[in-house]
Chains A and B, each alone.
Chain A
């Protein structure tokens, strides 16, 4: 046999053995100590790396969960309660149930309702347009309609409605990752509790102008008339800066406020018209009762007054 081949094989084998030994010791000495639970947790996570939990990605979330050893402040909105339960099982701790959320669009200023006052010819980006001026309609609070939110959605849960020019959230796909909420320069998207039986009610307007100005700018703007505020029995509606806002924490989904809005801008999801009608009738009855009661009280007060007039003071 050619000695060159023999020497080559022997020397390469020797180098290989030496290198293997060195690598073995180095890997022992400098091994990265990682909790093997991190890998397990990561496996059950959605692995979309969307950042909706507030962590830079799913691996970071898994690490954070194990470091915290407690799930009260950490929650994967995409996976929801099901995934969090699995995570809790892996860690052997108690799962914390959270109400699921969904993104809602708080603007109803469609092309029809909100006339354009100028034509925007700049870069197709809401963020850039918002930095330039107040928008191509009179309303400085409304949707700019250039779909920054749709672009940023990792879950294809949004699209632009061509008829209205407003974004639409697809209920089944939205994971409440918060990306669109962060992206919108006008703050139109908001995370909202999905609600019992997926029922929600919210006011789709952010216009803080005075009523007359707001209505000039958009036909369905909240004018701050306070009718819904007065109708609410649970103090869930607040009036701030000429704008009504429903607090989802306090709202009992009674739907009594829905029909009070004269521009029908109290938006509901998954609520049958029958329920709204029933709620409205109930409210009207209640109001009627209150009115009657007030009238009776008034009559009684007047009668009492008359009696006191008729009976002269005893001398």
Chain B
């Protein structure tokens, strides 16, 4: 009899949504170039980048078009070659209008300095500081969804000692398979990326955390890492939201990030596998972040796919490539079903943080009727941060931000587990988000 080995996972809260990884077996295919791309100058957390091109300029693929302003910001590069069109406010995937540069595509001429070949470059020649500045130049941001500039994460504040690098290959959102496919198709590059990050941070230990529903990726990395020292791979029990930084740290190292603190407070830095691959390309191939893997999926989608997409491609192009929008579609979501956000306009461009496009059928997408809270406590049980979601909802609704802050509302990672389990279909997370913004931006008098 095979000995049943209990897999690691985080121990507070968590839920088990149906994982629906429809596109897990479908290889990444490059999406044909669109006619026009729209590149927003804010695709990351932090200050918007400053535009350095003008209407009518000719640009080459990979050329910088907007420079980061301040440290917490990111460079923006053009993902195609062609002529700069209008620079105006357009709706982006956040649902708000932001300044974006539109580029009419002509050919596909790349910057000469970019290595476009597929050959694996293993030797790391740069010094740690040079690595960080190269990542900053390449405009790499966290590709798991939050789009936090990666160079900021790699600049550990003085006085903090980091001993572990965690690579997030959890992809706990149902439906999404972009990271899974990347791990299967570019494992060697990811390993080099990990080594780059280890060198930049000066750490000797790295763990790749992968949920067990991606068993083939776990096996693949185990095989490739046989002769490596310092890097290990760990299969994790499937549980949402394991891909949250704090949850992953707890699952793999059993360390708890203090309230209001950062992973570096407990000696850990976490990077997503997608980000790790982008860092490999930035450092070894001199290629800025101009394309990413995007999953297009849904129960009624003809061909659930994983596309390699240039940043700025309109969402509609991806939908057409995946066989069009099915008739029963009720909602089109940017991201996964748990944390994603419905897209209001199909012309919105793919941004650095867009990991998937999900088409939800009508019967599953409409909100159910809201009933009163029955104080069953299911949300408390589900909350991975140990909060009391039903209570935070009441406080936020009443605008009592002081009490909400005392109840650690700012620790909420907005995973949506509370709303997912609520038997009364209460919009708990909506109100918690509102409460968080009330604290951050005090209301006008």
Contacts and interface: CB of A to CB of B under 8 A. Distances in A.
Are chains A and B native binding partners rather than an unrelated pairing?
yes
Contacts of B437: 131
Given A118-B344, A122-B427, A140-B97, A134 B366 contact: no
Interface string A92-136: 000000000000000000000000011001110101100111101
Interface residues of A, number: 16
Interface string B273-311: 000000000000000000000000000000000000000
A133 B96 contact: yes
A182 interface: yes
A118 B332 CA distance: 11
A136 B344 CA distance: 8
A182 B444 contact: yes
Interface in A4-59: 54
A123 B427 contact: yes
A134 B95 contact: yes
A56 B232 CA distance: 59
B428 to A, nearest CB: 10
A214 B278 CA distance: 40
Interface in B82-105: 91, 94-97
Interface in B71-124: 91, 94-97
A140 B98 CA distance: 12
B94 A123 contact: no
Nearest to A122: B430
Given A118-B345, A122-B427, A123-B431, A132 B95 contact: yes
Contacts, number: 44
Contact of A121 (B91, B345, B365, B443): B365
A121 B433 contact: no
Contact of B96 (A54, A123, A125, A134): A134
A125 B433 CA distance: 13
Interface residues of B, number: 22
A121 B430 CA distance: 12
B339 to A, nearest CB: 13
A113 B444 CA distance: 30
Contacts of B255: none
B345 A117 contact: yes
A128 B95 contact: no
A136 B96 CA distance: 11
A123 B95 CA distance: 16
B226 interface: no
A123 B91 CA distance: 22
B423 to A, nearest CB: 17
B331 interface: yes
Given A133-B344, A182-B443, A121 B95 contact: no
Interface in A126-170: 127-128, 131-134, 136, 140
B434 A128 contact: yes
A150 B127 CA distance: 62
B443 A123 contact: no
A131 B91 contact: no
Contacts of B444: 182
Contacts of B434: 125, 127-128, 131
B366 A117 contact: no
A158 B106 CA distance: 56
Contacts of A182: 443-444
A54 B331 CA distance: 43
Interface string B340-358: 0110110000000000000
B367 interface: yes
Contacts of A118: 344-345
Contact of B344 (A117, A125, A127): A117
A132 B341 contact: yes
A134 B90 CA distance: 11
Contacts of A140: 96-97
A132 B437 CA distance: 11
Interface in B407-445: 427, 430-431, 433-434, 437, 443-445
A54 B445 CA distance: 9
Nearest to B437: A131
Contacts of B342: 121
A3 to B, nearest CB: 56
Nearest to B426: A123
A134 B97 contact: yes
Nearest to B94: A133
A127 B95 CA distance: 15
Most chain B CB within 10 A, of A122, A128, A133, is at A133
A125 B434 CA distance: 10
Contacts of B345: 117-118
Contacts of B430: 122-123, 125, 128
A109 B94 CA distance: 24
A131 B427 CA distance: 14
Q: Which of B331, B342, B365, B443 has the most CB of A within 10 A?
A: B342
B427 A133 contact: no
Contact of A128 (B94, B365, B431): B431
A296 B404 CA distance: 72
Interface in B365-399: 365-367
Contacts of B96: 133-134, 140
A118 B331 CA distance: 10
A14 B256 CA distance: 63
10 contacts: A121-B365, A121-B367, A122-B367, A127-B434, A131-B437, A132-B95, A133-B95, A134-B95, A134-B96, A140-B97
Interface of A: 54, 117-118, 121-123, 125, 127-128, 131-134, 136, 140, 182
Given A128-B434, A133-B344, 16 more contacts: A54-B445, A118-B345, A121-B331, A121-B366, A123-B427, A123-B430, A123-B431, A128-B427, A128-B430, A131-B433, A131-B437, A133-B94, A133-B95, A133-B96, A134-B97, A134-B344
Q: When A and B form their complex, which 6 residue pairs have the shortest distance between CB atoms, in order from nearest?
A: A133-B95, A123-B427, A118-B344, A123-B430, A128-B430, A134-B96
Interface of B: 91, 94-97, 331, 341-342, 344-345, 365-367, 427, 430-431, 433-434, 437, 443-445
